[in-house]
Structures are given as C-alpha cells and as structure tokens.
Amino acid sequence: MKFKQNITLALAAIGLTATTFVSAQTTLLNASYDVAREFYKDYNTAFVANYKKTTGKDVKIDQSHGGSSAQARAVNDGLDADVVTMNTTTDVDFLASSGIVAKDWAKRFPHNAAPTSSTMLFLTRNGNPKGIKDWNDLVKPDVKVIVVNPKTGGNGRMAYLAAWGYVRKTGGTDAQAAEFVGKLFKNVPVLAKGGRDATTIFLQRNIGDVLITFESEVVSVDREFGAGKVDAIHPSVSIIAENPVAVVERSVAKKGTAELAKAYLTYLYSDEAQEIAAKHGIRPSNPKILAKYSSTFKPIQLFAVSDYFGSLTEAQKVHFNDGGQFDKLYTVK
C-alpha cells in the first residue's frame, strides 16, 4: 500500500507543478464535468467580483473539466481540487467513500447539496419529421435513437433510468420497464462515448432521428450549430438529474482554503448565480428563478432517482455494473 501511495504522490506532484507556482495568490481549483465549462466560466467571474466586494480579497478560480467520473478519479488519485462540482451524485459518493469529501456532504448545502439540476429531453431534427412526442415514440421500429453508453457516461445512465422510470411512473412494472428499455436500445445504431460525442454523432454525422440528452445541451447545440437545427421535445415524464457540489476536505485542509471553498459553493445558491445557470440551460433550484425562465424549462413531470431506484449508487449496482440489467440487454438474445 505504501508503494501505491508513492506512485499516487508522484503522479500528483507531476500534475500539480502547474498549479503550485501560482499559489501565492489565493487560488481555488474547481474540478467539474465537461459541459459545465461555459457555466462555470461565467459563474467564476461573478463570484470573484462578489467576493472582492464583500471581503475585499482577490481570489483566482482555476477550472478543470473532464468526464465527471474521470474528474472524480483524478481528485481521488491526488488532484488538489478544493471543490468538486459534478453531474451525478455517484461521483461525489465515491469521493466520500474514500474519505476525501465529508461523509455527510449532501447535508452541507441546501437541496441535497445540489444548487442546480437538469433533466433528460429529446432533440429531433428540425420540424420533428418522425413526429416524436414522448418516450413511447422512441420504441417504434423505424425510429433511430442516439444515446450515450451508460457504461461510459452519466448522461447515458440518466437517459436509461429516465426511460425505465417513465414506464414505472405510468403504472408499469419493473419487468415491463426492462422490456421497454430493451426495445429502446434495439433502436440505437451507435452508442456514444459521452454527451458531446452523442451530439456530434447526431448533428455532424447525421445519424439517428432523435437524441436523448441533458436539457442544458439544447443551449449548447443552438450556440454551436445555430438555432433552428433541432427541436427540443419535452416528454411527459423525465428524471431529475442533480448536480451535486462538495468541498474536498483533503485539499482545503492542506491549502487552508476551507472558508473560501465554502463561500464559493454557497454563492451558487445566490440569485445571481441561479440566473447564470438558467441562462446556460441548467435548472436553478430557486423556484422563483425557475418560474422566471419557464419558457426554457417547460414544466414536465419529474421524478427523482430515489422514487424507483433507491439511490444512484443502488441503480449503478443493479443496472450498470458488469452483469447488471444493461449488460443483459446485449448479451441475452
């Protein structure tokens, strides 16, 4: 074990030489997931200005983005991030299990420590030629669905669970849900590696009739490919995907940035930050601001992971781990 630690330390040292050089000024490193890059860029500017105004101190926020669980692994293996802002609770739970964030991280901030959330929507080609309205339309034989591989992306896990939950919410049993999800994945010609990969396959390679993805991706697609290329379809039922945040206790203890880290995450709940999130297509937890942006966040029936799956960790075990429900879709003929 000592040996393993040494390796980890060596790797951490290599990774950190870049950040330690600028540590004279108080810097905070936020390890976050891929598609939150633009949101946190705007948020950091707002936070730095506000922090200067209220405390008179200058701070600098560094961002590190990658796949959500890849980021969690990096932090686990020694990346000195002060805070983690992820897109699935599983990733923070993993860090809690190794003692790097507090065990009760979900109670440290309001709304289960999730200042924002998102949900799964459908994107169809302009004009919705196949007339896709709801989950039922995705299992029709002539519809090709683009979705992320649940094995490699949280986006895909959420899409899978949303489809499963749709059947349960409309009165079906688990067996019916399994059949439904099986049919849906039969209509998948290509399993994307991650959220952005899925968008590329759908829009640049022109494969598939519908893309299941996070609501926030609609804003990115419009910005990247021009408005009007896709229609956002709100199904009758979808899932709440919470975006949990946590202080990395190991790093803040070492760097003495506990206060700042806490302030950074707390400010995510401020009206200003919630508005920034809404502009990026991420659902704010503040109901007033959510209502204000109701044209973006059309009201749909949302269910929580805990309604049907216990928790994400539980769902991971039953559905996505090797030999689980998802593997059966492909290995049992």
Task: Catalog residues that contact other proteins under the rule CB under 8 A.
Answer: 3-4, 7, 67, 69-70, 72-73, 94, 149, 151-153, 188-193, 197, 204-207, 316, 320-323, 327, 330-331
Name the residue nearer to other proteins (CB basis): 198 or 219: 198
Phi, psi of 114 (to 5 degrees): -120, 95
Closest contact distance (angstroms) between CB of 108 and other proteins is: 22
Task: Tell which residue, 117, 125, 288, has the closest CA to residue 216.
Answer: 117
Closest contact distance (angstroms) between CB of 147 and other proteins is: 11
Name the residue nearer to other proteins (CB basis): 43 or 320: 320
Phi, psi of 254 (to 5 degrees): -75, -40
Name the residue nearer to other proteins (CB basis): 156 or 281: 156
Could you give the 3-state DSSP secondary structure of residue 56?
coil
Name the residue nearer to other proteins (CB basis): 69 or 286: 69
Q: Token pair of 40, please?
A: 């946190």
Q: Are strands 145-148 and 210-214 parallel, antiparallel or unpaired?
A: parallel
Closest contact distance (angstroms) between CB of 182 and other proteins is: 13
**Bridge partners (DSSP) listed for residue 245:** 85
Name the residue nearer to other proteins (CB basis): 24 or 332: 332
Closest contact distance (angstroms) between CB of 11 and other proteins is: 11
Phi, psi of 60 (to 5 degrees): -125, 135
Closest contact distance (angstroms) between CB of 149 and other proteins is: 6
Closest contact distance (angstroms) between CB of 223 and other proteins is: 20
The rounded distance, in Å, linking the Cα atoms of 221 and 239 is 21
Name the residue nearer to other proteins (CB basis): 195 or 281: 195
Closest contact distance (angstroms) between CB of 157 and other proteins is: 9
Closest contact distance (angstroms) between CB of 131 and other proteins is: 23
**Bridge partners (DSSP) listed for residue 28:** 61
Task: Tell which residue, 133, 146, 140, has the closest CA to residue 209.
Answer: 146
Name the residue nearer to other proteins (CB basis): 29 or 147: 147
**N-term to C-term CA, the chain:** 43
Could you give the 3-state DSSP secondary structure of residue 177?
helix
Q: SS3 sequence, 215-254?
A: CHHHHHHHHHHCCCCEEEECCCEEECEEECEEEEHHHHHH
Could you give the 3-state DSSP secondary structure of residue 133?
coil
Name the residue nearer to other proteins (CB basis): 10 or 49: 10
| Full DSSP string of 289-314 | HHHHTTTTS---EEE-HHHHHS-HHH
* Pair 145, 138: CB distance under 8 Å: yes
